[in-house]
């Protein structure tokens, strides 16, 4: 992969122990141990995956075991890094090409943004769409959910103006 071709095609685990480089010419994802530089895994994205990807087009979940990528036909894909890059889910529902993916701090949800000007929040175990909203300007939305002890918690979605990005903040965190 040419250095000039990887801007926006690199994702790091939250602890920076691994990187994922997406070569959109060959559609190959290479997972590398950042300390040793050794290749950990390599797998191919499906044909039809968009050949252009900006910052945030792929992202790791908090424990680094899953990778989300943009996919063909306005989808997002979730891959199992611990199982040879096995495809776990295809998230369908956007009507425009996906721009970004971002896991929630607990790894249970994935936010996606699209050229259709929507932000969608997905359950990463079931693939169920939890929320869809128009991304207009800087706005914050608290997404309610029930925690393990039936305690109500929320995730704040922070939409960044002028950028096709969304950040998910855990309860108690502020943008």
pLDDT for residue 3: 43
The pLDDT assigned to 143 comes to 42
From residue 52, how far is each of 22, 91, 102, 144 by CA, in Å?
A: 11, 19, 18, 34
Instruction: Answer whether 81's CB lies under 8 Å from 104's CB.
Output: no
The Cα 27–Cα 44 span in angstroms is 6
pLDDT score at 144: 39
**Would you state the structure tokens that stand for residue 62, as one six-digit string?**
């908090």
- pLDDT value for 55: 67
Are 155 and 162 in contact by the 8 Å Cβ rule? The answer is no
Reduced to 3 states, what is the DSSP secondary structure of residue 35? coil
Exposure string over 92-109, b if 16+ CB within 10 A, otherwise e:
ebbeebbbbbbbbbebbb
68: enclosing H helix or E strand: strand 66-70
pTM of the model: 0.77
What residues form DSSP beta bridges with 34? none
All residue ranges of the chain with pLDDT < 50 are 1-4, 6-8, 137-156, 158-165, 167, 169-175
């Amino acid at each position: 992969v040419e250095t000039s071709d990887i801007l926006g095609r690199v994702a790091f685990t939250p602890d920076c122990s691994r990187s994922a480089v997406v070569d959109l010419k060959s559609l190959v994802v290479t997972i590398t141990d950042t300390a040793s530089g050794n290749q950990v895994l390599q797998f191919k994205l499906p044909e039809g995956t968009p050949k252009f990807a900006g910052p945030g087009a792929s992202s790791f979940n908090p424990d680094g075991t899953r990778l989300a990528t943009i996919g063909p036909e306005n989808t997002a894909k979730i891959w199992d890094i611990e199982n040879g890059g096995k495809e776990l889910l295809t998230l369908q529902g956007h009507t425009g090409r996906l721009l970004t993916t971002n896991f929630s701090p607990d790894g249970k949800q994935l936010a996606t943004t699209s050229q259709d000007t929507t932000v969608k929040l997905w359950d990463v175990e079931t693939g169920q769409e939890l929320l869809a909203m128009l991304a207009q300007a800087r706005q914050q939305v608290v997404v309610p959910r029930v925690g393990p002890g039936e305690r109500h918690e929320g995730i704040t979605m922070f939409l960044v103006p002028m950028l096709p990005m969304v950040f998910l903040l855990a309860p108690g965190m502020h943008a």
